Amino acid sequence: MPDTAQTADKIQSTPIAPSQAAGNAKRKRLLTYLGIAVAVGAVAYGAYYGLVASHYVSTDNAYVGTDTAQVNALVAGPVASIAVSETQAVKAGDVLLTIDDSDAKIAVAQGQAALAQAQRHVQGFYASDEALAGQLGARQADVASADAQIAAAQANLSNAKTELTRRQNLAQSGAVSQEELTTAQNAFTQAQAALNAAQAARAQALAGVKAAGGQRATNAAQFAGVDAAQNPEVLAAQARLDAANLALERTIVRAPTDGIVSKKAVQVGQQVAVGTPLMTVVPIARAYVDANFKEGQLRKVIPGQVVELHSDLYGKSVTYHGTVRGISGGTGSAFSLIPAQNASGNWIKVVQRLPVRIDLDPKELKAHPLRVGLSMSAKIDTSNK
């Protein structure tokens, strides 16, 4: 025990070396500087996040897309020639391929002949109208002639009746013979028959007028209210000819838009039916980006905000500038063939992503073309409200 106490007294009484004291002071200063640096860094990061970083959301889960144009056969027939190849750039209206047009040309010739026949048929209506008008006039003249015959027959009948009455009166006194009386009686009967015949002729003439008028009206109904060019029969023939010309025109398949030929699935000589997929034209000049952001990142994202994008194809050296068009109506899992069933007891919450459609600057796309499906990174400036 005495030895231990003596040893402790010696240690306490031993003076600290100057070099050791300086080292301790230096370490304290370094720790102080480190603490200050950490505090300053934390403040700076907080300021940066509050003033800058909090106004941006970013993701590298983004891909180039576009509304591709599917080229289908609009008429049936064998493929006569193909003017483009896979990956070739085309302009709207460029010939992609042709389908044999022999049948279409025959249909056009038939349509032209049918139209000419319809035009002549309609012209015949106008000519028939003039002929029927003449017939109607003749029947009306027959009525007038029958009226004249009736008038004459009535006059003859009146004279015959007067002669018969006079002879009947004279016969009572014996001044007229029986033969004269009989002759007067016969003349009266003949005059009555002639009047009946004239009246029958007039009735027949009236029926002729009615028949002729009906025929003319029937003929006139074929062209009433329109000229020859607008006649329904001519219009129907013209429509059939237009359909034949359209089918002939569709034997030449043209590019519906500017773009790149892709998925060419047709060969020369192949028999195609209406609706057969031939190829796809990808309009890369109208490409857009679908950026998949986490649901927690979208609370401040609205259409119209500015976006900076980079493509893995060009790297950070090329920056694209875009605009938020809108946010999809559902997550990718919601639109999948087999949607997630979250009602099970083993459900685990998974952060969902929503596609955000971003329109790109056409000038930048022209300078640095993209292709559908390429990976992109996107950063949206959410400070613009």
How far from 364 is each of 57, 143, 370, CA to CA, in Å? Answer: 22, 91, 10
Contact between 278 and 264 under an 8 Å Cβ cutoff? The reply is yes
Phi, psi at 330, each rounded to 5°: -165, 165
How many CB atoms lie under 10 A from the CB of residue 369? 13
In the predicted model, is pLDDT for residue 309 greater than 70?
A: yes
Closest CA to 98 of 77, 115, 126, 129: 77
In the predicted model, is pLDDT for residue 276 greater than 90?
A: yes
Burial group, residue 360, by CB count within 10 angstroms (0-12, 13-18, 19+)? buried
Residue 17 is predicted with a pLDDT of 58
Q: Residues 168-220: pLDDT tens digits? A: 777 666 666 777 767 778 887 887 888 888 888 888 878 877 877 777 677 66
Paired tokens of 105: 């040309």
User: 293 Cβ partners below 8 Å, 6+ apart?
Assistant: 57, 59, 61, 301, 353, 354, 356, 380
How far from 109 is each of 142, 154, 237, 352, CA to CA, in Å? Answer: 49, 67, 12, 62
Contact between 28 and 348 under an 8 Å Cβ cutoff? The reply is no
For the ranges 88-97, 167-176, 254-263, 310-319, the lowest mean pLDDT is seen at 167-176
Phi, psi at 201, each rounded to 5°: -65, -35
Sheet containing 259-262, strands listed edge to edge, beginning at the edge strand earlier in sequence: 69-72, 277-282, 259-262, 89-90
Q: Residues 6-25: pLDDT tens digits? A: 555 554 555 555 667 777 77
* Percent of the chain residues topping a pLDDT of 70: 83
How many CB atoms lie under 10 A from the CB of residue 144? 11
Helix ranges restricted to H, the chain: 2-13, 18-51, 102-173, 178-220, 232-249, 362-367
In the predicted model, is pLDDT for residue 5 greater than 60?
A: no
Chain mean pLDDT for the chain: 83
Paired tokens of 13: 């009484």
User: What single DSSP character describes residue 333?
Assistant: T
Q: Which residue has the tokens 């007028």?
A: 209
Residue 34 is predicted with a pLDDT of 81
Residue 1 is predicted with a pLDDT of 44
Q: Residues 152-163: pLDDT tens digits? A: 878 887 887 787
Total-model pTM: 0.64
Categorize the per-residue pLDDT at 321 as very low, low, confident or very high, splitting at 50, 70 and 90. Answer: very high
Who wins on pLDDT, 260 or 21?
Answer: 260
Closest CA to 326 of 345, 294, 303: 303
Average pLDDT over residues 249-275: 95
Burial group, residue 322, by CB count within 10 angstroms (0-12, 13-18, 19+)? buried
Domains and CATH numbers, the chain: 57-67+283-381 (2.40.30.170), 71-101+249-282 (2.40.50.100), 104-244 (1.10.287.620)
Residue 24 is predicted with a pLDDT of 72
Residue 52 is predicted with a pLDDT of 56
